[in-house]
Amino acid sequence: MLESAKRDMAAEDYASANNRAYYCIFHSMRAVLALNGQDYKKHSAVISQFTLLYLKPELLPRKFSSLITNASLIRNRSDYEDFYICSVADTEALVAGSEEFLAAVRAYLQKEFGLKSEQF
């Protein structure tokens, strides 16, 4: 998802870049929750459980809470609102934020589960 977001960004397909950056974050959250034996059907449940279990106790940096909230809002608006146009700067920030988030999740999974990055 991250590589796709970067390609879409380079191609100036900002709505798709927003979507792919969000899904990079979303699937990263789902991966962490899955290793804890949890899965949820609704995006809101994934976000709330991840926030409760990993961000509030600061197992991962709490600063990602605003990134997740913003990514969800931008993705929804980009995907479903006919006249929404996200700024290039906001899209760039979202893609960069998703890359930082993925790196933090990878570091957490390596530390907690001994997983190597090629495993996820």
The confidence score (pLDDT) of residue 120 equals 62
Is 86:15 a contact under the CB 8 Å cutoff?
A: yes
Distance CA 88, CA 85 (A): 9
Distance between alpha carbon 56 and the CA centroid of its chain, in Å? 17
The confidence score (pLDDT) of residue 31 equals 94
> How far is CA 6 from each of CA 18, 41, 55, 91, rounded to the nearest angstrom?
10, 27, 26, 10
Distance CA 42, CA 28 (A): 15
The confidence score (pLDDT) of residue 115 equals 74
Structural domains in the chain plus CATH codes: 2-119 (1.20.120.330)
In degrees, rounded to 5, the angle at the alpha carbon of residue 94 between the alpha carbons of residues 63 and 85 is 130
| Closest by CA position to 102, among listed 113, 117, 88, 115 | 117
The confidence score (pLDDT) of residue 113 equals 84
The confidence score (pLDDT) of residue 119 equals 59
Reading the block at residue 76, the tokens are: 């929804």
The confidence score (pLDDT) of residue 114 equals 84
Distance CA 3, CA 83 (A): 26
Residues of the chain with pLDDT under 70: 117-120
